[in-house]
Chain A
Amino acid sequence: MTTKISIQAAHKTFGEGERGIVALQDVNLQIGSNEFVTFVGASGCGKSTLLRCIGGLETLSSGSIKVDGVDITGPGVDRAMVFQHYSLYPWLTVTENIKFSRQLRAGRENLTSSDVEAASGRADALINLMGLNHVRDAYPNQLSGGMQQRVAIARALLPRPQILLMDEPFGALDAQTREVMHDMILHVSKLEKTTIVFVTHDVEEAIYLGQRVVVMAPRPGRVDSIYEVDLPAQRDQDMKLEPGFLQQKKAILNRIRETAGMRTDLELLERMTKQAEQQNDMQ
């Protein structure tokens, strides 16, 4: 597998001087072509910051991020991004949203009519792929959250990006819709041969989707450990209940709890319950 994204000694500090917060400390990572990598970690671990740095929305304080060996210098059409919500344009219909990036290029380049036709063909193909045909002329706020995210993904895929960056894209959806979206995005990754970097707080989602799961740790934000996922390439919802899957889920969850320094103090809770019971008895 050839390396698509190469992160070297990435360091990011927010704020200045003593009050500065280290969001990323010495992150080194290689992401392969057409790989699906997921990032999990306790809040404040810098997983979203790292994603935004790859997307060019934030700049590193030091270190470098290379795509195909070339340093990135801001956002670019080779790296599309899908956000958790509020990223669609409510004044445009579904089709117009999906064609937005094309509209930008149409303003700059002298497109021939066959180019425009090809773009329309691409938009139609994505609308079909995402199951949006029946709502193509609807406005985003007429759609459910799951449908809105389908539009956002289709919009991101239109210019055929080599990399798709996803920042908790299904975080606001209900469990059933998420399952559908999971299988859909796996299908897309196979079909489009896109490299996908996916940030989530849901460990199950991370294992189900990722070929590798990167666990990040907070204060300072850093890569803690990387888990290779040992599941067949063709995923299936039942796999989530198999022992191997559950074991890995348990291992990752425990690792996240340890890095977060947060554990439920069961003894303390027990003592508090007993105290409360005694008080009730006395009354």
Chain B
Amino acid sequence: MSSRNKILAKWDSIWVIRGELSRRSYLLFALFGMLVPLAAWWGLSVSGWMDKVFMPGPMDVLSRAYTWLMEDELSHDIWISTYRVLAGFSLSAVLAIPIGLMIGTYRPVQAMLEPLTDFIRYMPAVAFIPLVMLWVGIDESSKIAIIFIGTFFQMILMVAEDVRRVPITQIEAAQTMGASRAEIVKLVIVPSAKPALLDTLRVTMGWAWTYLVVAELVAANSGLGYSILRAQRFMQTDKIFAGIILIGLIGLTIDQLFRWLHRRNFPWLYKK
């Protein structure tokens, strides 16, 4: 086979439906997927076709992020926003996991809470802002409350679904071995649903970050979302870009952290 044919064959082999891809090729494609938009963005900005106000270049954004860090309070903004997201998210998780567990396990609880939750989750979190200000005031707790409202109801339903996906034979096997209901919940349902639950937390963590800008609409004077909103007022598009990208990067980092936790805590899923 000529080397040309070999290359063609290899090229064809990576497009097999649901085929295999070596780790090196995977990284190469991932890098390609990241670099192309970046290069396009950079090209667009240096071409001069678009006004810098509308489309600041990568270097403008980078230098803005640098001055934000040095002369302004970027690290504080990152810290306070992360704190708000984590606090709202954690509060959500602490309440939604037991409630979802009960919904997915006991029919009466499902009948009582699921239709109600389904109803509430369609209400827009933004619309709750005036009520939240009225009920919890305008300090930190109001931002946490908005993130909580945005994630809590979705999380309940996802947790309930995770719990319902525990195979019934796993539960019945425990029953025939003489397990009590409490033992089945503790020793079968919870450990069986755990990997799915961690995935649910990972996904809802992403949603919590998307509610950050909304949350910082409420009388905030620091934070990444707040900075984006203020930059909008002064037409600092480079700062808007910087803020959005930073949120994306933090999200990506947390996401990877969750995936790492998944691999570490559930080794049986990764051993073949």
Identify A75's interface contact among B169, B175, B188, CB under 8 A. Answer: B175
Give the A-B pair count, Cβ closer than 8 A.
78
Q: Closest CB of chain A to B249's CB: distance in Å?
A: 33
**Cβ A142 vs Cβ B178 within 8 A:** no
CB distance from B148 to the nearest CB of A (A): 31
Pairwise interchain contact B176-A57, C-beta atoms closer than 8 A: yes
* B24 interface contact, C-beta 8 A: no
Nearest A residue to B265, CB-CB:
A91
**Alpha-carbon distance A105/B178, docked complex (angstroms):** 9
Please tell me if the beta carbons of A89 and B188 are within 8 angstroms of each other in the complex: yes
CA distance A199 to B187 in the complex (A): 28
- Chief secondary structure at chain B's binding surface: helix
Q: B175, B178, B192 — which one has the most chain A CB atoms within 10 A of its CB?
A: B178
Q: Which residues of A contact B183 (CB under 8 A)?
A: 104, 107
A174 to chain B, nearest CB (A): 20
Could you tell me the distance in whole angstroms from the C-beta of B170 to the nearest C-beta in chain A? 6
Asked, given contacts A76-B178, A77-B178, A104-B187, whether A87 binds B173 with beta carbons under 8 Å apart, the answer is yes
Which residue of A has the minimal Cβ distance to B186? A107
Task: Say whether A141 faces chain B, with CB atoms less than 8 Å apart.
Answer: yes
Q: B124-139 interface mask toward A, CB cutoff 8 Å, 1 = contact, 0 = none?
A: 0000000000000000
Looking across the interface, which residue of chain B has its beta carbon closest to that of A105?
B178
- Given A103-B187, A104-B187, A107-B183, answer yes or no on A87-B172 (Cβ-Cβ < 8 Å): yes
Q: Is the CB of B179 within 8 A of A104?
A: yes
Inter-subunit contact A89/B191 (CB<8 Å): yes
Residues of B whose CB lies within 8 Å of any CB of A are 167, 169-170, 172-179, 183, 187-188, 191-192, 194, 266-269, 271-272
10 closest Cβ pairs, A-B complex:
A139-B268, A101-B177, A81-B176, A87-B169, A87-B173, A77-B178, A86-B167, A75-B175, A83-B169, A86-B169
Interchain residue pairs with CB less than 8 A apart (28): A55-B176, A56-B176, A57-B175, A77-B177, A77-B178, A80-B176, A80-B177, A81-B172, A81-B176, A83-B173, A86-B167, A87-B173, A88-B173, A89-B188, A89-B192, A91-B191, A91-B268, A100-B177, A100-B187, A103-B187, A104-B174, A104-B177, A139-B268, A139-B271, A141-B268, A155-B173, A155-B177, A165-B176
